[in-house]
Structure 1
Amino acid sequence: MSACPHRQRELADRENVFLDTAQALIQRDGLLNLQMSRIAERSRYAIGTLYQHFASKEDLLVALATRNCLSRVDLFRRAALWPGPTRERMLAVALADLMVMRDKPEYFRLTQFVWSDVVWNAASPDSRRRSLAASAPLAELVDGIVAAARSNGDLPASVALEPQALTIGPWSLCLGLHTLAHVDGMLDAHAAGDPHRLLIKHLHYLLNGYGWQPLFDPADDTAVDAQVERICKAVFGTACPAPSPQLLTSPETSHA
């Protein structure tokens, strides 16, 4: 009976070795240069052993992106369970994402790559299913904010979307703006200014459209910046995220 848990730990430890090695190679050589043979060689395992864990490079990349995504759970939980207004808790989730961008920009570059149809559709159904199941706690935390807002009257009953459907709006906005911000010069060409402030302003316009109370004037940059600073200190005990010098580096060319 004791051999089974030991064997499971052994497999999990070996899988983490493969994922750690892949992450290091991506940071050194870039995503497009990642090779399964190099992962096996650097991990000091036979390539057949690597394929016992991951049937393809796409499966390995999905697993790595999922592990990186789960590193956000603590920040998301702090944002979602903070006893502040529900609207500000939604903003805190977006700020948690920005903190990850600041500290681990390579995580988002990998997510961009993995969520492309070239990688995601080539991964096995089991790999994709495990990824979606593993990231479910993140979605549940955000859905819980919407449910609380509806329960206490912050979100009007006229917004008929279920929590899982409503949160796709803010999620799409965050994901889209992050994607544009990582394309060198894209937002500069549109004179967009600070992408962090722009994201928060767009989120406020979206939440105002939902009628999410209390309404907020996103045109007031001073008020937006003050609110962001206050939420960051109250929820995370830190200053608001500043733009990373790597933020506008192309994912195709970056080795960071």
Structure 2
Amino acid sequence: MLEQAVLNLSSDDTTLSRKQVAMRERESELLDIACGIVAREGFAQLNMDKVAAASPYSKGTIYNHFNSKEDLFAALAIQALGKKIPLFKRALDFEGTSREKLIAMHTGMHLFSKLSPILAMCALVSRTPAVTEKSAPERLEKLNALEELVVSFGDKFIELGQRSGDLTLAPGITSDSIVFANWAMAFGTSSLVNNATQSSCVSRQLSTNIVLQNLNFLLDGMHWAPLSCDFDYQKTWERAEKDLYGKEIALLESQS
């Protein structure tokens, strides 16, 4: 079921009409323009007038794609999830223990947050009441479906840990709580590293792999074997970068 969902997500445009393909391409172009505005001015300054002014399209055309700026935020979140999910699939196929596969997933998430910091933040922005109340229902339905798919990937990593005997859940701890803890740790750490470098708390850690460090704190606390004192997970991180995310690393290097 998970594999079929990923296959559906990555299907090509061969079943779409020429008009539908053009609509999809135009929407992607408008989302890129919106990202540029947010990068320069911040989320609070994004509005439909600015998107229209920065694009070759009329405001009416833009409203054919998005019914409000809030709907635009939801569309950005959908785009973000669509780009993250293939990274998770690669991590599941990574050669290694269940914990190494999970670390490979976090490697991909961190690279995504560095490559697309605006899209990475949309996971939070798109879930505020101001956005969900004004987004198109069909947009929210797609966003919810993609979020469920992401959560199912998280469940899969936990299942692999339990099946292999690397992870035994303590009484009162559920798969849901571990999936949330992983997401909160990854999102929070990457957000701080990418956006709060002037903070002394962050700057003191920039010479270390702070994402992996925090992840090891979390997984060691769950007694997810092998523990970090018994295994070099920095080598796992580097192997994931090389074997799974070479394209993303090359893009980052081209931007520096």
TM-score by length of 1: 0.75
Determine if contact 1:228/1:240 at 8 Å carries over to the other structure.
Answer: no
Residue identity over aligned pairs, in percent, reads: 24
Q: 2:66 aligns with which of 54, 57, 80?
A: 54
Partner of 2:198: 185
Partner of 1:147: 159
The 1:209/1:234 distance shift into structure 2, 3 A limit, reads same
Residue 196 of structure 2: SS of its match in structure 1? Answer: coil
Structure 1 residue 85 and structure 2 residue 94: aligned?
no
**1:27 deviation in Å?**
3.8
Partner of 2:8: none
1:25-40 matched pairs, under 5 angstroms: 25-40=37-52
Partner of 1:236: 245
CA distance in 1, matches of 2:168, 2:95: 20
TM-score by length of 2: 0.75
CA distance in 1, matches of 2:95, 2:234: 21
Q: 2:31 aligns with which of 7, 16, 19?
A: 19
Determine if contact 2:80/2:122 at 8 Å carries over to the other structure.
Answer: no
CA distance in 2, matches of 1:113, 1:146: 27
Q: Which amino acid aligns with 2:88?
A: F
CA distance in 2, matches of 1:148, 1:205: 20
Partner of 1:9: 21
Question: Which is bigger in relative contact order (C-alpha 8 A, separation at least 6)?
Answer: 1
Determine if contact 2:103/2:236 at 8 Å carries over to the other structure.
Answer: no
Structure 2: which 5+ residue stretches go unaligned?
Answer: 1-15
Structure 1 residue 212 and structure 2 residue 224: aligned?
yes
1:99-248 matched pairs, under 5 angstroms: 99-158=111-170, 161-181=173-193, 182-186=195-199, 188-189=200-201, 192-194=204-206, 197-217=209-229, 223-237=232-246
**Deviation per CA, 1:58-80, whole angstroms, max 9, x where unpaired?**
11122023213322223221112
**1:161 deviation in Å?**
4.3
**Deviation per CA, 1:66-125, whole angstroms, max 9, x where unpaired?**
213322223221112213100011111111111123323333344454444544555355
The 1:207/1:89 distance shift into structure 2, 3 A limit, reads same
CA distance in 1, matches of 2:208, 2:130: 29
Structure 1: which 5+ residue stretches go unaligned?
Answer: 247-256
RMSD, aligned CA:
3.4
CA distance in 1, matches of 2:191, 2:37: 23
How many pairs does the alignment contain?
A: 237
